[in-house]
Amino acid sequence: MKHAVWMLLGVLKVAGASPVTPPPVKHISPQQQDEYRCAAALAVPNQPASASARLDALRGCLARLPRHAAARLELAAMQLGQGNLVEAQAVLQQGLAVNPGDTSMVLALARIQYAEGQAATALTTLQNYHLVGARLPETLAFEAALQLELGDAEAAVATYRLVLARVNVNGVWWLGLARALAQTGQLDASRQAYQQALQTGTLPPGLIAYARAELAKATPPH
């Protein structure tokens, strides 16, 4: 569980980890005032002593500017770091309700759902996103992996092929395609996909051993 939390925290890091508080301006609009308060909330050090004040400041920011993605991701990360997974999911779901095409939020939410054993819910989250958001290789590959895990190997093959037609240097995605092809009985294509996965040079050692073992099992004796 700790490993999953740290992984998810990595997903939820907000770009620009050290936001700069803008200088005060004398005559600013209510919108600018709200943006200033959100910047100030993000500038509060993320330390145990200031955690409560920071949470309150981020919640206040989102009450005024619900589309503020950086504040929402940071609030979700803090909730996640404190083990409040339900609250973290709620924060992200509320963000997607007002900004359904936000890639960072949809990936974060789907990964939390998956870590909580909700693979089918995570798949639905991604599929709903793909109706309105960018069909990015990373989100599509996650969808394919969930399709495979949930037993829909044919759909996984189609989705992996779509991803790899755009980005063909990710060994893990080739490995997923190889497994999906094997489950649909396409053994020759599966062997080729295992070979492609190894040839990318991007697999970690454990998956290299796995791919070699699966390739050896799938290769008929001469």
Distance from the Cα of residue 54 to its chain's centroid = 24
Q: How far apart are CA 89 and CA 105, in angstroms?
A: 10
Tokens of 18: 């050290």
Give the three-state DSSP class for 216.
helix
Q: How far is residue 190 from each of residues 16, 77, 138, 144, 186, measured CA to CA in Å? A: 41, 38, 22, 16, 6
pLDDT digits (tens, 9 = 90+) for 55-100: 999 999 999 999 999 999 999 999 999 999 999 999 999 999 999 9
- Of 100, 80, 96, 98, give the one whose Cα is nearest residue 88: 80
Q: List all residues 6 or more positions away from 83 whose beta carbon is below 8 Å from its beta carbon.
A: 5
Please tell me the predicted confidence (pLDDT) of residue 102: 93
Q: How far is residue 142 from each of residues 156, 171, 176, 194, measured CA to CA in Å? A: 10, 14, 10, 19
Please tell me the predicted confidence (pLDDT) of residue 21: 59
Series of mean pLDDT values for 10-residue runs along the chain (222 residues): 48 48 64 79 76 90 92 94 93 94 94 96 96 91 98 98 96 98 96 97 96 90 69
Please tell me the predicted confidence (pLDDT) of residue 14: 43
Q: What is the pTM for the complete model shown? A: 0.79
Give first-to-last CA distance, the chain, whole Å: 45
CATH number, domain 1-120, options 2.70.98, 1.25.40, 3.30.70, 1.20.1290 = 1.25.40
Q: Which residues of the chain does CATH 1.25.40.10 include? A: 135-222
Please tell me the predicted confidence (pLDDT) of residue 23: 59
Please tell me the predicted confidence (pLDDT) of residue 203: 96
- Where does 82-186 have alpha helices with state H? 85-98, 103-115, 119-132, 137-149, 153-164, 171-183
Widest CA span in the chain: 82
Please tell me the predicted confidence (pLDDT) of residue 158: 98
CATH number of 135-222: 1.25.40.10
